[in-house]
């Protein structure tokens, strides 16, 4: 066997071996992050570091979608729900709030990858829907003048705004911007904190990927009512006033489709779409940048009975009656009557760029 007598050569050989071991370890670690900490956020809970507090945006008793878990395309019929001809997410109030709070507006726009001046146009082109599956996202809060970032599972029934590719980008009950979760997070092996809810299962946590950019943005979403008794179409960038007539439930309510197939063994690695979605116009409506700090590990906490019940937060002093900042003592006031749907007309936009 060849012996290395030179001290310099021996040093180089050892350094090379260390580098190979480090590379191998890094490769193995990239197969799924088993140590990620994911916060569960129940219906009605604004979660940590809310931009503001808003009441009446969520539904307590949404019948969950039969095909849950794995990765779903943002344009899948029945992926989202809603109440026909009604919306619980007021986009105009969100726009006014962000404009009245410039520091928060800047942080919010930075997460979405848009200039502050583009907030009105960007928000007006979103569509209010209800989640029908427990959904993994990166939740971006606001603390000490800047945006925070952490993975979270939003309970089915939570109101969100989705972009033209079907990706949740705003959490309605607090105004927090949302982006897609980091691919390396394994929902099956992660540590979950926060109060659980009946029916929660790791294997049923859903990831949502954007619609294939080559198809263009979504023209109309096929939604299902909270009781799952009918379907209907909601044109993009409308809040219910232009909803189509009731129709039968989409086939996904009773059978699986190719795009709804769960990822094998929940490795946490999504199969990337054929092409990354391009924005409707350069910059303003991409699904949002992946946040490098999205994985904020925290001390493991088991679901405890000490956590507040569904519909309450325990994480903030009060809930407001809108994006105005008026506190209501920590209780979500009941909605006396449906909110009138509010939506700004979509602006003209060029076809998405396909690379």
Closest CA to 235 of 307, 145, 341: 341
Total number of residues shown for the chain: 355
Specify the pTM.
0.69
Measured between alpha carbons, how far is 310 from 320 in angstroms, rounded to an integer? 17
Measured between alpha carbons, how far is 338 from 312 in angstroms, rounded to an integer? 21
125: three-class secondary structure by DSSP:
coil
Q: Quick one: tokens of 257?
A: 């489709």
pLDDT (0 to 100) of residue 254: 73
Determine contact, residues 249/79, Cβ cutoff 8 Å.
no
Closest CA to 294 of 205, 201, 182, 212: 182
pLDDT (0 to 100) of residue 252: 86
Measured between alpha carbons, how far is 264 from 267 in angstroms, rounded to an integer? 7
From first to last of its 355 residues, the chain has per-residue pLDDT tens of 444 455 444 445 444 443 444 444 333 333 445 569 999 999 999 999 999 999 999 999 999 999 999 999 999 999 999 999 999 899 999 999 999 999 999 999 999 999 999 999 999 999 999 999 999 999 999 999 999 999 999 999 999 999 999 999 999 999 999 999 999 999 999 999 999 999 999 999 999 999 999 999 999 999 999 999 999 999 999 999 999 999 999 998 876 444 444 443 343 334 334 333 434 433 444 444 433 333 333 333 333 333 333 333 333 333 444 564 433 333 333 333 333 333 333 433 444 433 3
Residue 69 to residues 80, 166, 205: CA-CA distances in angstroms? 14, 17, 5
Closest CA to 153 of 184, 107, 128, 190: 190
Measured between alpha carbons, how far is 324 from 96 in angstroms, rounded to an integer? 9
Q: What is the DSSP string of 58-76?
A: --S-PPPPSS-SEEEETT-
């Amino acid at each position: 066997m060849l012996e290395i007598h030179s001290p310099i050569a021996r040093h180089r050989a050892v350094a090379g071996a260390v580098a190979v071991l480090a590379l191998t370890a890094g490769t193995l670690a990239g197969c799924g992050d088993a140590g990620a900490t994911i916060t569960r956020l129940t219906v009605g809970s604004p979660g940590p570091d809310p931009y503001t507090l808003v009441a009446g945006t969520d539904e307590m008793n949404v019948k969950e979608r039969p095909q849950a878990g794995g990765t779903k395309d943002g344009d899948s019929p029945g992926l989202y729900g809603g109440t026909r001809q009604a919306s619980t997410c007021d986009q105009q109030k969100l726009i006014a709030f962000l404009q009245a709070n410039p520091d928060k507006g800047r942080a919010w726009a930075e997460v979405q990858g848009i200039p502050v001046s583009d907030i009105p146009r960007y928000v007006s082109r979103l569509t209010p829907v209800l989640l029908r599956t427990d959904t993994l996202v990166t939740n971006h809060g606001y603390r000490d003048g800047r945006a925070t970032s952490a993975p979270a599972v939003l309970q089915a029934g939570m109101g969100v705004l989705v972009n033209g590719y079907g990706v949740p980008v705003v959490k309605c009950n607090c105004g927090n911007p949302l982006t897609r979760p980091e691919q390396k997070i394994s929902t099956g092996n992660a540590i979950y904190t926060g109060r659980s809810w009946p029916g929660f299962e790791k294997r049923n946590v859903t990831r949502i990927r954007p619609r294939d950019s080559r198809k263009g943005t979504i023209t109309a979403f096929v939604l299902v009512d909270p009781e799952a008794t009918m379907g209907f179409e909601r044109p993009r960038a409308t809040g219910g006033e232009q909803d189509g007539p009731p129709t039968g439930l989409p086939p996904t309510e009773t059978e699986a489709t190719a795009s709804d197939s769960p990822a094998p063994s929940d490795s946490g690695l999504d199969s990337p779409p054929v092409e990354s979605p391009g924005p409707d116009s350069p910059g303003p409506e991409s699904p949002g940048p992946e946040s490098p700090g999205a994985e904020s590990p925290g001390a493991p906490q088991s679901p405890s009975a000490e956590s507040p019940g569904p519909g309450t937060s325990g994480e903030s002093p009060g809930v407001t009656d809108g994006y105005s900042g008026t506190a209501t003592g920590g209780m979500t006031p009941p909605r006396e009557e449906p909110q009138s749907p509010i939506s700004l007309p979509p602006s003209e936009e060029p076809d998405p760029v396909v690379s």
